[in-house]
A and B are shown apart, each in its own frame.
Chain A
Amino acid sequence: EPEVTQTPSHQVTQMGQEVILRCVPISNHLYFYWYRQILGQKVEFLVSFYNNEISEKSEIFDDQFSVERPDGSNFTLKIRSTKLEDSAMYFCASSQFRTYEQYFGPGTRLTVT
């Protein structure tokens, strides 16, 4: 059964450093998403991506964040200068169409020290 994969599973970085989180969405899906979940809190939407451009983004997704689809399979989230409050689980998800069911990857736990 196809699934979303994410790497790394855990990333530790120092405040101010850049991090890139990687995702491989399900191959026939067209819409890609990033969400985050701070420990003990709800899952929050960051950004959606379709046809090589951002289609929606939340207030959390400020200039420190960017997304890219560098090739036909990978989808990345870059945080330019990490802050302590960026520590969270980051989930990638994909769906076949815009409001269809979204399938989540296993997540990357980002720890900023």
Chain B
Amino acid sequence: QKEVEQNSGPLSVPEGAIASLNCTYSDRGSQSFFWYRQYSGKSPELIMFIYSNGDKEDGRFTAQLNKASQYVSLLIRDSQPSDSATYLCAVNPYEDYGGSQGNLIFGKGTKLSVKP
């Protein structure tokens, strides 16, 4: 059973701080990793994707990938109250017979609360 694990939180940070969100995955063959933000009652919104080991920065967001440790993280700098949401980690699974699959496996999400 391919799994994506996240701490459910809530993670509470003060406004202006760095929020650090973590995710581990079970499928060693996975190649593509995504972070989505989901506000209550809304659909997942893609905020970052990363395919290679290392860091990828986009504005206030940095995704970090370590395939050897099967670990992907998201850092949010200068956190704002509007960043308060559930952050979903998602992974494309890999099948020996078919390679990387198109479907996404999601974690349960980490609820982030940014306090003014």
Q: What DSSP secondary structure best describes chain B's contact surface? A: loop
Number of interface residues of A (CB under 8 A): 26
Asked if B81 lies at the interface with its beta carbon under 8 angstroms from chain A, I say no
* Residues of B with C-beta under 8 A to A75: none
Q: What separation, in Å, do the CA atoms of A105 and B107 have in the docked complex?
A: 19
Residue pairs across A and B with CB atoms within 8 Å: the count is 59
Q: What separation, in Å, do the CA atoms of A102 and B92 have in the docked complex?
A: 11
* Residues of B with C-beta under 8 A to A55: 102
- CB of A99 within 8 A of CB of B32, answer yes
The answer, among A56, A104, A106, for a CB contact under 8 Å with B103, is: A56
Stretch at the interface among B9-17, B44-52, B68-76: B44-52
Q: What separation, in Å, do the CA atoms of A45 and B101 have in the docked complex?
A: 12
- CB of A31 within 8 A of CB of B102, answer yes
- CB of A98 within 8 A of CB of B102, answer yes
- CB of B106 within 8 A of CB of A44, answer yes
Q: What separation, in Å, do the CA atoms of A1 and B31 have in the docked complex?
A: 27
Per-position 1/0 for B93-116, Cβ under 8 A of A: 000000011111111110000000
A residues 43-76 with Cβ under 8 Å of B?
43-45, 48, 50, 55-56, 58
Chain B residues proximal to chain A, CB less than 8 Å: 31-32, 34, 36, 42-46, 49, 88, 90, 92, 100-109
Chain A residues proximal to chain B, CB less than 8 Å: 31, 33, 35, 41-45, 48, 50, 55-56, 58, 89, 91, 95, 98-107
